[in-house]
């Protein structure tokens, strides 16, 4: 690839990320090829965070052309089925795409998160995915919920989840919440176990 092609590609991704004043822009894409790039980048960040937080090393995630699940991940010779889903307020993101900024004015006010709003959205994401799996007779080992909501922080969310029991969906063995990189928190993207045992406790019960 020439320098001009590299620069054009970089400018294109900057434009994509900055759509809607950058509202949750790190997970933006324009076509199926873009989507795969974003998903691979996201699961790689999860892989780094799992190693940093739990000391668990996993093999390179393998995309599944017949998804779901989106990826297969091997840990200690066991294979996990991993599905990705974004937690985002689509209505607010559409408003940002039409010209409002999430950093001032009414959209800024509406984009703030409360514990009740977060828990409602989190449960909705899990239930929607789980219902689809159940209808197809499928199960996944990990639902990787990723978010780049501009005013939802990992520290506040961790506090909200500390005293809250999230009911496990029968089609989803565990759920993780992965945040975009937050300066001053850690070198890796912050990660929270929503429910389910940490991976080291799971791998003994996962089919080969």
CB 160 within 8 A of CB 98: no
How far apart are alpha carbons 16 and 37 in whole angstroms? 13
How far apart are alpha carbons 19 and 28 in whole angstroms? 8
Q: What is residue 119's predicted lDDT score, i.e. its pLDDT? A: 97
Closest CA to 150 of 30, 61, 24: 24
Closest CA to 174 of 207, 202, 134, 154: 202
Q: What is residue 201's predicted lDDT score, i.e. its pLDDT? A: 67
* Per-residue pLDDT of the chain in tens (208 residues, 90 and over written 9): 565 556 666 676 566 666 767 788 778 777 888 888 889 999 999 999 999 999 899 999 999 988 889 999 999 888 999 999 999 999 999 999 898 999 999 999 999 999 999 999 999 999 999 999 999 999 999 999 999 999 999 999 999 999 898 999 999 999 999 999 888 777 899 999 999 977 766 766 554 3
Q: What is residue 138's predicted lDDT score, i.e. its pLDDT? A: 92
The CA angle 82-177-70, to the nearest 5 degrees, is: 20
Q: What is residue 21's predicted lDDT score, i.e. its pLDDT? A: 72
Q: What is residue 76's predicted lDDT score, i.e. its pLDDT? A: 84
Q: What is residue 207's predicted lDDT score, i.e. its pLDDT? A: 44
**Any idea what DSSP says for residue 59?**
P
Which residues, including other chains, have CB under 8 Å from residue 86's CB and lie 6 or more apart? 24, 27, 145, 146, 147
């Amino acid at each position: 690839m020439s320098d001009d092609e590299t620069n054009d590609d970089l400018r294109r991704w900057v434009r994509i990320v900055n759509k809607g004043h950058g509202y949750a822009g790190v997970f933006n894409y324009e076509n199926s090829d873009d989507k795969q790039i974003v998903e691979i980048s996201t699961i790689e960040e999860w892989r780094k965070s799992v190693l940093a937080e739990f000391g668990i090393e996993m093999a390179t995630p393998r995309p599944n052309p017949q998804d779901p699940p989106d990826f297969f991940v091997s840990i200690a010779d066991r294979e996990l089925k991993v599905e990705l889903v974004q937690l985002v307020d689509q209505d607010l993101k559409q408003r940002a795409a039409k010209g409002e900024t999430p950093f001032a004015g009414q959209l800024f006010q509406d984009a703030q998160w409360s514990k009740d709003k977060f828990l409602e959205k989190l449960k909705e994401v899990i239930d929607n995915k789980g219902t689809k799996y159940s209808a197809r007779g499928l199960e996944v080992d990990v639902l990787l919920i990723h978010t780049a909501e501009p005013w939802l922080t990992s520290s506040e969310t961790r506090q909200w989840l500390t005293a809250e029991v999230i009911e496990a969906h029968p089609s989803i063995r565990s759920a993780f919440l992965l945040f975009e990189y937050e300066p001053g928190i850690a070198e890796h993207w912050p990660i929270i176990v929503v429910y389910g045992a940490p991976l080291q406790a799971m791998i003994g019960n996962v089919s080969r």
